[in-house]
Each structure stands twice: as C-alpha cells, then as structure tokens.
C-alpha cells in the first residue's frame, strides 16, 4: 500500500520544499512529451489488465474492472524531479478497483516492473463505480421477464418501442450491508429519440448485479403515455415555421494559434499547465503556473484540480422516484461518460483536440476521440479599458482585448449534458464554468392542464406538456482544488466586511465599511456558506510578500450558481452528501482524500465525505491545504426547458489578489490593427 503523506513541520523540510519551488518555476521550464502526470497510455492499460489477469489471484470468469487510474505521486517527489528532469522520473503506478467473487479489491501496481504491490479487500458497505457493460446487461433483463412484457402490452406498446436504463438505488437507512443492486427505468421511443419525455410510469424493477437477475418487480399504476410528437430535438425532424437564427460567426487568428501542446503539457501566454484524463473525474488540471511579465519566473497557483463529485437529487418522494439521488462521478464516472467533442459545434475552428483512453469491464481498451478541446477565445470583450476626458484638450482611450484559453470537456450523464470549461486569463485568473443542457428527467401524469391540479396536490415539479411533469431537482458540482499559491504552505483568509459607525463627529459621514481579516486556524474555521455574511475568501501565502509587504494570494469570486442543499440533515441522500450544506470547505492535504462523497459511492452511507474528514479539525494555517468549492443549481423546470433545455451556466473565478506587483496587463501591447478586417458600413 502507498503510505499517507503527512507534511513535516521541520524547518529543514520546509526549506527543501521552498528551494524546490524556486528551482522549478524558472522561465524556460521544459515541456516534455513524457510527463509523470500523463494519463495512463493504451500500452500501460494493456500491461495493467494483463498483469492482473495472469497473476492467478482472481478467477478470470468473475474478474471485472471498475476503476483504473494513475496513483498520485508524492508532491515533493514530483517537484524534486521537475527541478532536474535529467534524473529518472518517479515510477508509474496504477490504482485499480476490481470485483471478483462478489468482493471488491483495491490493487496497487507498478507498471514498469509489471508487479502487483498490494491487493486489499474492501470490507465497507458501499460499492465501486458501475461499468457500462454491466449496466447494459441489467437494462436488457426486463425484456426476458414476463411481468414486464405484460406491462408493456397493458400500455399499448411493443417491446421494439421500449428502451431501459439503469439507476443507482442509494441508501435509505439499511443497517445490514446490501447486495449490489440497480433499479431499471424504462421509456417509450416510437417516433422520437427523446426517450426521457415518455417514461413508463408506475413500474419499479430491482436487479441484483452480481447474480444479474431481477429480484423485485412492481407495476403500481398506469397513466396515459405522453405523445412522441414535438419531443424529437433532431434538426431533420423540425418542421416550419422555424425558430430564430443568427448569422454564422467565424474565428480568425491572423498570426496563428497562440498556444502549444506538447504531449499533455500546455503553454499559452503567461500560463503553463498539464492536462490529464481520469475515468472518474474527467479533466484533471495540474501544475498551473503563471508569470507576471515575459522572461520572469512562472509561479505555481494550482497544483491539481478536478471535479470531484456531482450530486443530483430529484425532489419527488414517490416509490418510483425517491431513490433518484445520483452521484454522477462516484457512481457512473464523469470521465467515463465524457463524449467525443464535435469540431465546429462543440468547439470553434481554432481548437485543438486530445483523446482519452480507459479500460472496459474486462480490461480491453477504449478510446474517446476528442475528449478535450483547447482553444483561444475572444468574444469582443475587453480585459481593461479607460477613456480620460479630464486632461485639457485631450481625450485618451486605451483598450486591451480579453483573449483567454479554454480547456473544454462535455460529459453526457444520462439525460443531462455538462459542458465543463477551465478558462485561463492573461490577468492571472482561472475561471471555472459549467453549463447544463440536455433533456429533463420527466414524470408521466394523467394531468393535461394546470387547472386540473388541486391546490393541495404537490406535483414535485412543473406541468410542461400534456401528461408530462418536469421534476424539481438540484445539481451540485464539487471541485477539488489543491492550491499551492506561490509555494507549498498556504492559509485561508476570511476578509469580513464590517460596518463601522462614525460617532466622534470627525466626519459628516455616519458610517463606512472596512475589512476585518481572519486567518483560519483549523478546518472548523473554514466551513463557509457563501453570502451568509458579506466577505471575501482568499488563499494566501504568508511566507511570500509583495514589495510593499502584502501577502500574495488568490481570492474566490462567484459567478452565480450558489445554491446549497435544502434537504433536511437527517434525510439519507443528505447524509451521503453532507458537504452540500456549504459551498466552500478547506481541509488539510491528505493524499487519500480526493473524492468529495468518498472513494466508494454506490450505496454509500456518508461516512467518507468532506464534512466527515473536516471533523478531525486539523490545523490548516500555513499548511498544505485543499479547497473544495461547490457550484450549485436549484432547477425548477419551465416550459422553455421542454423538450430539451437551453444552456444554463454558472461557476466561479480564482483571481489574483496581491499575487502580482501590479496589473500584469498594463505592459501588454495592443494588437496591430492591420491584422483585423476593416469595418464597412453596408446600406
């Protein structure tokens, strides 16, 4: 087993780390096509599955792979290598979660020596990531089950018009360890590919995944099936009159692309970072460092960041709905369900693409082509501008365009598509944005008009069309951010805005506000409900100062999507996602604490989550710390969300706050205007 990394408090240790940061962040940091943080390659994935299959530890007929990922390299080991890349790189090791004989195994494997370092059986009550293959098999079981076929006939459907999909079952207070279960949801297709708009309401199917058989079946009631007409979203199915359409817009870069990709290392403007793929997290950004001006040192901002969990609880307590409280990363795999990006539609013409690879249930290789795109964005906005009128006889205007670099991934998790952008700005900011679109999860009903709904009836959503309810739900995306602001040891600062009354007659003013800064000593001091009080929240390095003496740092700026969970604390889904009661947590770095809802999430019981780790109340002042930031949406469906919803975006920004000596863009020269098309005044 890998040992847990606990930062030393010794002066010698801190001095060594400080030297490593100085050595590492020099201006000509070499990009390499082979990097210790690169995702597992196809050949490595093949070595892993062959090593395990030939180890004689498992029966080949019962062995299934549920997660294969790169083991986290100890931070100061990695930085030591980066300071001198002529040395041998850290060993490539993989962490594997596999099932065999109805048991879950955790394996650590050295890829270079093709040897298994350790094999431990997980004894907890929860289960690993679902595989796509077992979900497919389970979803086909109802079609060989007579009661289900009778239910189809009762609804006037043919089996060829029905498709089924899997749903995790959650945990609702069971004391004994459960079997590995799934529930199956079924839908009618007919003349539309929008299957979520036509659910087979009233049916509950429970499947034992290990035995791969139906354990329980209920058909409680029948409601009229929503019609297929008008639900298909494909362009070829649309009929006039058509909706509004703007003119095409193209991207022109007269000097060519401004970024370079070498393997998985990316360099653009004043930024350098590493981009990797993980089957659970999707995009992983590492070693993001920025410089103030050309030829100056690159200074580290983000050691590692990714989406750790995505919690989506639906708000209908009915028998057929109460369990729909999904953890899309830990149960299904946010990276596993990443979709191939389409050039010119998902990403602009100036984008470059990278592929991703993962291992299937039996260990064979799958490529997700174009899993990421990288492109420069300019939408006509300015990075800064000023017009000065006050100088006698002069009008001075200076403007700099806002050009940024975007890393994009789209994960299609069942009915929803999540567009995830990591946007790097020349100002030193990183903007984290997520966009929700796709199809609502809809409920069949006998209602055809809101007038039929009595006042004391709770639809748990909105009537969107005849026989169709869009169910209320939430989306909580929790980011893991291992910030190392210009060094290894950081602190979390709450800068509260306090109203001060002027009572001594020294000013005509009666009041003003000022900042009262508090450095969080322990994890208990850094559990934040945003907007509970006016404040700014920063991560600073008190060991590094600007020339005039301020602590260098970055602060969080919200861009909407600040919802927190409204479920009661004793509700079982809330126990499993207790961290969603606050948007921001800070914990001491621990290599084993990566996943907000725990390593094993399927049927989890909330005993391995951020809020549980935080109860240790570890010291976080001037330590290696991790920030967990949750972007939250409450979604009450409206008719414009039907049959497919327009994009809804929100996120946050990590903005430099005394990190630079001044605005780094002041010395940015404007573009040569001769490169741009001349403006024409058309009649």
Residue numbers annotated as active site: 328, 416
Integer Cα distance of 328 and 280 in angstroms:
9
Strands (E), 220-351: 259-262, 265-268, 271-278, 282-290, 299-313, 325-327
Structure tokens at 160: 């060829």
Q: Are 128 and 602 in contact (CB under 8 A)?
A: yes
Pair of tokens at residue 531: 């907007």
**Residue that is written with structure tokens 């409450």 in the block:** 634
Nearest Cα residue to 467 out of 659, 160, 225, 248: 225
Dihedral class, residue 340 (left if φ above 0, else alpha if ψ from -120 to 50, else beta): beta
Q: 440: burial class by Cβ within 10 Å (0-12, 13-18, 19+)?
A: buried
State whether the Cα torsion 151-157-158-162 is positive or negative.
Answer: negative
Please enumerate in sequence order all residues whose Cβ is within 8 A of that of 275, keeping only pairs 6 or more positions apart, or say none: 264, 265, 266, 283, 284, 285, 286, 354, 372, 374, 407
Element (H, E) at 212: none
Torsions phi, psi for 247 (to 5 deg): -80, 150
Report d(CA 331, CA 314) in Å as an integer: 16
User: How many CB atoms sit inside 10 A of residue 467's CB?
Assistant: 21
Rounded to the nearest 10 degrees, the angle between the axes of helix 75-83 and helix 11-24 is 50
For residues 134 and 211, give the distance between their C-alpha atoms in angstroms, rounded to a whole number. Answer: 11
Dist. CA 614–CA 626, nearest whole Å: 11
Residues contacting residue 311 through CB under 8 Å, at least 6 positions apart: 325, 326, 327, 328, 474, 475, 476, 478, 565, 573, 577, 580, 597
Residues 6+ apart with CB under 8 A from 542: 491, 519, 551, 622
Q: Which two tokens stand for residue 103?
A: 């048991």
Q: Cα(566)–Cα(541) distance, rounded to whole angstroms?
A: 35
């Amino acid at each position: 087993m890998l040992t847990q990394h606990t930062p030393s408090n010794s002066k010698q240790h801190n001095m060594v780390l400080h030297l490593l940061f100085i050595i590492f962040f020099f201006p000509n940091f070499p990009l390499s096509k082979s990097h210790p943080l690169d995702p597992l390659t196809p050949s490595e994935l093949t070595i892993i599955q062959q090593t395990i299959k030939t180890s004689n530890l498992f029966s080949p007929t019962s062995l299934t792979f549920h997660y294969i990922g790169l083991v986290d390299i100890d931070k100061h080991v990695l930085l030591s290598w980066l300071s001198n890349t002529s040395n041998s790189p850290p060993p490539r090791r993989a962490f594997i979660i596999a099932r065999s004989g109805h048991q879950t195994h955790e394996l650590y494997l050295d890829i270079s020596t093709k040897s298994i370092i350790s094999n431990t059986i997980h004894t907890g009550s929860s289960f690993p990531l679902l595989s796509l293959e077992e979900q497919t098999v389970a979803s086909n079981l109802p079609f060989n089950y007579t009661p289900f076929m009778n239910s189809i006939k009762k609804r006037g459907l043919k089996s060829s018009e029905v498709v089924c999909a899997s749903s995790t079952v959650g945990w609702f207070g069971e004391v004994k360890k459960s079997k590995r279960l799934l529930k199956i949801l079924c839908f009618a297709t007919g003349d539309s590919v929008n299957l979520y708009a036509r659910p087979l309401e009233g049916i509950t199917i429970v499947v034992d995944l290990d035995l791969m058989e139906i354990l329980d079946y209920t058909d409680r009631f029948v409601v009229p099936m929503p019609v297929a007409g008008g639900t298909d979203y494909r362009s070829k199915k649309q009929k006039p009159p058509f909706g509004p359409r703007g003119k095409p817009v193209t991207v022109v870069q007269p000097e060519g692309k401004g970024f370079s990709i070498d393997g998985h290392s990316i360099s653009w403007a004043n930024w350098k970072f590493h981009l990797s793929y993980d089957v659970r997290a999707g995009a992983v950004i590492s070693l993001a460092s920025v410089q103030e001006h050309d030829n100056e040192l690159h200074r580290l901002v983000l050691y590692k960041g990714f989406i750790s969990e995505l919690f989506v609880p639906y708000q209908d307590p009915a028998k057929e709905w109460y369990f729909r409280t999904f953890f899309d990363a830990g149960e299904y795999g946010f990276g596993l369900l990443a979709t191939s990006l389409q050039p010119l539609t998902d990403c602009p013409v100036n984008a470059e693409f990278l592929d991703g690879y993962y291992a299937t249930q039996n260990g064979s290789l799958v490529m997700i082509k174009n899993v990421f795109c990288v492109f420069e964005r300019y939408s006509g906005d300015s990075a800064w501008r000023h017009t000065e009128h006050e100088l006698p006889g002069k009008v001075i205007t200076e403007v700099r365009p806002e050009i940024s670099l975007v890393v994009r991934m789209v994960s299609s998790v069942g009915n929803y598509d999540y567009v995830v952008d990591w946007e790097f700005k020349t100002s030193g900011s990183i903007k984290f944005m997520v966009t929700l679109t796709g199809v609502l999860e809809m409920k069949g009903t006998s209602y055809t008009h809101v007038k039929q709904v009595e006042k004391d009836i709770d639809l748990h959503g909105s009537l969107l069309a005849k026989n169709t309810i869009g169910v209320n739900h939430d989306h909580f995306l929790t980011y893991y951010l291992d910030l190392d602001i210009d060094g290894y040891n950081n602190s979390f600062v709450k800068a509260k805005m306090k109203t001060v009354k002027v009572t001594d007659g020294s000013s005509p003013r009666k009041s003003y506000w000022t900042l009262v800064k508090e450095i969080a000593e322990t994890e208990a001091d850094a559990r934040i409900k945003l907007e509970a009080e006016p404040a700014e929240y920063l991560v600073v390095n008190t060991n590094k100062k600007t020339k005039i003496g301020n602590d260098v740092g970055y602060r969080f700026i919200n861009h909407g999507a600040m919802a927190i969970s409204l479920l009661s604390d004793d509700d079982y889904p809330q126990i499993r996602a207790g961290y969603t009661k606050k948007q921001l947590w800070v914990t001491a770095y621990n290599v084993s604490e990566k996943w907000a809802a725990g390593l094993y999430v399927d049927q989890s019981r909330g005993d391995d989550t951020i809020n549980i780790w935080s109860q240790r109340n570890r010291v976080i002042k001037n330590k290696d710390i991790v920030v967990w930031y949750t972007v939250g949406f409450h979604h009450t469906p409206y008719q414009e969300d039907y049959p497919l919803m327009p994009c809804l975006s929100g996120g946050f920004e990590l903005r430099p706050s005394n990190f630079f000596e001044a605005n780094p863009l002041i010395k940015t020269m404007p573009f040569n205007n001769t490169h741009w098309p001349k403006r024409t005044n058309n009649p």
